Amino acid sequence: MRPYQILAFLLALGGLAGVAPARDAVIGVGVQVVDRRPASALLDAIPVPAQARMFDASGHARSYAWAGTPDSAAAFFATEMPRHGYRSLAPRGDGRALQQVWASERGRVVVRLDRAIGGAELTRIRIHAGAAQAPAAAAATGGPAAATGDVSAR
């Protein structure tokens, strides 16, 4: 045999040996389906600062423009969200971008506050919501009681 044929044979043999254990592997996948209707109702009940103007909306998120700083918007939510039955899970960020995570028995809400580019005090408020599952449904699926997901995507 020529040297390159031997090399090809050894590589093929090694490749087959590496593939053999893989056919015995088990892969588990879990999927959680979130109903968008409760998230819309949840978004309707979230307080926003006076004069905030909505400029974008989807099934799980809304975006507002508001004349003020991110810090003053954060103070508004820190006051109003507990009044609406939410507890703070994770306030974080500083200066230009702030994020607050809130939860209640109704679901989970993430509020992102970003200073708009330019000299004016203008803040973009993005609110993402995930409605809580019914306790029986969560127990039946083995899933968590509150729907989560990527809520911090820009």
Residues 92 and 99: their CA atoms lie apart, in Å, by 5
Question: How many whole angstroms separate alpha carbon 127 and alpha carbon 46?
Answer: 9
Q: Is residue 30 part of a domain?
A: no
Tell me whether residue 136 is in a domain. yes
Q: How big is the chain by its Cα radius of gyration, in Å?
A: 24
CA–CA distance, 121 with 68 (Å, rounded to integer): 5
Any idea how long the chain is?
154
Question: Taking the C-alpha atoms of 83, 87, 91 and 97 in order, what is their torsion angle to the nearest 10 degrees?
Answer: -50
In a domain, 152, yes or no: no
Q: Is residue 151 part of a domain?
A: no
What does the pLDDT profile of the chain (154 residues) look like in tens digits?
Answer: 566 566 566 555 555 555 445 456 566 666 655 555 568 888 999 999 999 999 999 888 999 999 998 989 999 999 999 999 999 998 787 656 899 999 999 899 999 999 887 767 899 999 999 887 655 444 433 434 433 444 333 3
- Looking up residue 123, the CATH number of its domain turns out to be 3.30.310
- Looking from the CA of 89 toward its CB, the CA atoms found within 13 Å total 11
Predicted pLDDT of residue 54: 96
Number of domains in the chain: 1
Residue 84 lies inside a defined structural domain of this protein? yes
* 137 vs 26: CA distance, rounded Å: 26
pLDDT at 92: 81
Q: What pLDDT score was predicted for residue 128?
A: 94
Query: Strand, helix or coil at 90?
Result: coil
Asked if the structure places residue 121 within a domain, the reply is yes
Residue 7 has a pLDDT of 57
Residue 27 lies in a domain: no
In a domain, 1, yes or no: no
pTM confidence score: 0.62
Q: Where in the sequence is the domain holding 94, given as residue range(s)?
A: 36-141
